[in-house]
Chain A
C-alpha cells in the first residue's frame, strides 16, 4: 500500500479535477461548429504551409462523408455543432513556468506537473485548450539530438520529417474521429529520438480542457529511430460542466528497427467528456511498442490502441485498465496486427464496473498469411463491484496463417462477499476492503507504471469509487 505521505509529497491528494479557471483567451473561433471556413481560419492563424491546409480540408470532407459509428458507445448526444474547435489561451508558448499566466500555471501546479518535472521527467509539455502553453526538454537530451516539442512547432521546425510521416499510420479517412482530428488538429507532441539514444526517464505531456463546450484535438507523432528507446506519458483532465466536451486525439507511433516505445496514459476526464481517440503504432523489425492505458472518467471513451507488427521479430503489448462508474461507458480494448514472421503480442485488459457503469472490451487480433510463428495472448478480466454493473467482451480474431500460437482468455468476477468479509475481519472498513480488492485487480498493470503514476492510478480509482470526483 502506498504511504499517504508520498501522495501528499507528490501533491496528488488535495487535487479535485473539477475546478475551472475563468475563460480569458488570446484567440477563440468566433462561433461553435465546424465548416471549411473555421478550418481555414485555424490553419491561417497557425501560419501553416499550404499542403497542411489542403490536408485539413480534405480530412473535413472525409469527416462529413463518414457516418457516426453505431457499433460502440452511444454518441447520439454528441452534437458537433455545439463545440468550439479552436481556442488559443495565450499568445506565446512558455519556455519557463514564469512565462505562463498565473491561472494556467496554478492549474498545472495543482496537477503536480512542475514538481514532477524537476525530479523525474526528461521533458514536459502542457497543453491547455488547443495549444501547448509550456514546453521543456532537459539539456542533455536536447544535446543528444532528441526532439520533443508541440506538434505545431514540429511542423514549423521539422517540416520534412513531419510531412513524410504525418497521417501515414492513421490516414485522415481512417474513421470519423481521425478525420475530424485531421481537419482541426492543434497541439499535441512531436517526438524524434535519434538512432541508439535511450531516454531513461519519461517525457510527459499533460492535457487540460478548461473551457465549456470545448473540443480538444491534439495530434501526436513519435518517431523512435533505430535502436532507440523512449517512454512517453500523457495525463488528461477537464472540469465538470453540464454540457459536453469532446476530446478526440490522434496518436501515431513509429518504432524503427530495434527501437522501443512505451506510451502510457492516465486519463481522468470529467464525466461529461466524450473521449474518442485513435492511437496506432507501427513496429518494424525487432522493435517493441507498448501501450499502457488507464482510462478513468469521461462519459464515453472509445479507444483501441493498435500495434501493427510489420517487421520480423517485432513485439506489441497493450495493457489497459478501465473504470466505469455510474453513467459511464468505457469502450476500450486493443488491436494487434501480425504482418511479419516471428512477431509476438500480448493484450491484457482489466475493467472495473460499478453502479450503472458499463465496460466493454473490444479487441481485434489479426494474423496475416505468412506471419509464421506469430505468438499472441489476449487476456481480459472484468471485475464487477455490484449487481447493476455491466461488462461485455467482443474479441474479434482473424487468423490467415496456420503456423501460429494464439491464446485467449476472458474472466468476469464479482467482488465476493466472502472476500470482503475476510478483509473486514482484519479491521478494514468495507470501503477499504473494496479498494484493496480493486487495487489488487489492477496490480499487474500498475506495476508496469513508474511508482508515482501507479500511486496516482490507485488513488484516482479510489476517488472514483468514493464518488468524490464530479
Chain B
C-alpha cells in the first residue's frame, strides 16, 4: 500500500534522508525508532508533502500512485494522515469549525450539520475529552498532552487509511497514553495501517506493532518484530551504531 524506495530528501540544502526503503501493507502497524535528529520527522513531513522539503531521489507510492505529484491536501484525500509532533496553532478557528471543514473536504459527500455534530460528540466522548474543547481555538493554549489528544481526535474524524504518528506518545501521562492507544486500536483492522514514530517501548505495549524499524542517519538500518523495541530499550542506540552504523555511512 505504501512503498518507499531509496528516498533521498533535503531541507535548506542539507540532506537528511539518505536512501530510505520501507513497505507497509494494508492492516499493518509499523513502528520506527531512532535517535534524535535521525530524520523521523523529516520522513513524516516528506510523506505528507511539506513544501519546505525537497525530494532529490527515490519514489513513494500510495496504493500505486506516485504521491510526489500531489499536494498535501490531495494526499489527505487519498487517506493519508499525519499526527504532528508539534501541531500548529490557528487562533480564532475553533476545533469544531476546523473538524467540520476538514471532514467535509476529505469526504465525497458532505455530512449534514447534525450528523457532524453527533460525530464530533461521539469521538470526543470516546477520547474522554471535555465537550467544551470543541469551542476552543485550534491548539491555542493547549497543553502538550491536549494537543496530542486533539491530533487523535482528528484522526478518528478523518478515518484515514494510513496514519503516520510522529511521537504522539511523547509527553503523555499514563491515562492519556491509554486513551490515545484506544483511539488507534479502534481503527485497527484490515483497511487501516499506521506508522508509529516513538522513542519508547511503552506505547508499543498498548498498540502492538507488526514490524519495528530502527532509523539512523536518514535510513532504516535494521528491522524486526516487536522484540526489537525491547532490545533497543535495553541496549541503547550505541549498540545500534556499533552493529549497523557502517550501513548508514556507506
Contacts and interface: CB of A to CB of B under 8 A. Distances in A.
Contact of B102 (A3, A427, A437): A427
Contact of B91 (A421, A430, A432, A441): A441
A432 B82 CA distance: 19
A437 B5 CA distance: 36
Contacts of A417: 50-52
Interface string B86-106: 011111110001101110011
A1 B100 contact: yes
Given A419-B88, A421-B51, A422-B84, A1 B102 contact: no
B76 A440 contact: no
Contacts of A425: 48-49, 72-73, 75-76, 81-82, 84
Nearest to B86: A418
Interface residues of B, number: 34
Contacts of B88: 416, 418-419, 421-423
Contact of A1 (B91, B97, B137, B158): B97
A436 B50 contact: no
B201 interface: no
Nearest to A413: B91
Contact of A429 (B73, B92, B138): B73
A430 B92 contact: no
A3 B101 contact: no
B101 A444 contact: no
A428 B93 contact: no
B77 interface: yes
B98 A436 contact: yes
Task: Tell me which of B45, B91, B92, B138 has the highest count of chain A C-beta atoms within 10 A of its own C-beta.
Answer: B92
B105 A427 contact: yes
B48 A428 contact: no
Given A422-B84, A427-B158, A443 B73 contact: no
A427 B97 contact: no
A444 B92 contact: yes
B193 interface: no
Contacts of A442: 92
B84 A427 contact: no
Task: Tell me which of A421, A428, A432 has the highest count of chain B C-beta atoms within 10 A of its own C-beta.
Answer: A421
Interface string A422-462: 11111111101100110111111000000000000000000
B92 A443 contact: yes
A427 B76 contact: yes
B113 interface: yes
B90 A419 contact: yes
Contacts of A437: 90, 93
Given A1-B97, A440-B137, A426 B102 contact: yes
B93 A443 contact: yes
Given A421-B72, A439-B92, A440-B137, A428 B100 contact: no
B154 interface: yes
Interface string A82-122: 00000000000000000000000000000000000000000
Given A418-B88, A430-B71, A436 B52 contact: no
A417 B53 CA distance: 12
A432 B101 contact: yes
Contacts of A440: 90-93, 137-138
B82 to A, nearest CB: 5
B11 to A, nearest CB: 12
Given A417-B51, A427-B102, A427-B106, A436 B90 contact: yes
B90 A424 contact: no
Interface in A394-426: 416-419, 421-426
B73 A441 contact: no
A91 B60 CA distance: 72
A442 B101 CA distance: 18
A429 B106 CA distance: 11
B92 A428 contact: no
A317 B82 CA distance: 43
Contact of B158 (A424, A426, A429): A426
A424 B98 contact: no
A45 to B, nearest CB: 49
Interface string B209-223: 000000000000000
A175 B72 CA distance: 52
A426 B87 contact: no
Interface in B100-117: 100-102, 105-106, 113
A416 B88 CA distance: 9
Interface string A216-244: 00000000000000000000000000000
Nearest to A433: B73
B112 to A, nearest CB: 10
Given A421-B51, A436-B98, A428 B90 contact: no
Task: Tell me which of B71, B76, B88, B158 has the highest count of chain A C-beta atoms within 10 A of its own C-beta.
Answer: B88
Given A1-B101, A423-B90, A436-B101, A428 B73 contact: yes
Contacts of B154: 426
B91 A428 contact: no
Contacts of B91: 440-441, 443
B163 to A, nearest CB: 12
A439 B89 CA distance: 14
17 contacts: A1-B97, A418-B88, A419-B89, A421-B51, A421-B88, A425-B72, A425-B75, A425-B82, A426-B105, A426-B106, A427-B77, A427-B102, A428-B101, A432-B105, A436-B93, A440-B138, A443-B92
The 7 closest A-B pairs by CB, nearest first: A440-B92, A443-B92, A440-B93, A426-B102, A427-B105, A424-B72, A427-B106
Interface of B: 45, 48-52, 71-73, 75-77, 81-82, 84, 87-93, 97-98, 100-102, 105-106, 113, 137-138, 154, 158
Given A426-B154, A428-B105, A432-B101, 15 more contacts: A1-B97, A419-B88, A419-B89, A421-B45, A421-B50, A422-B87, A422-B88, A423-B102, A424-B71, A425-B84, A427-B76, A429-B73, A436-B101, A440-B92, A441-B91
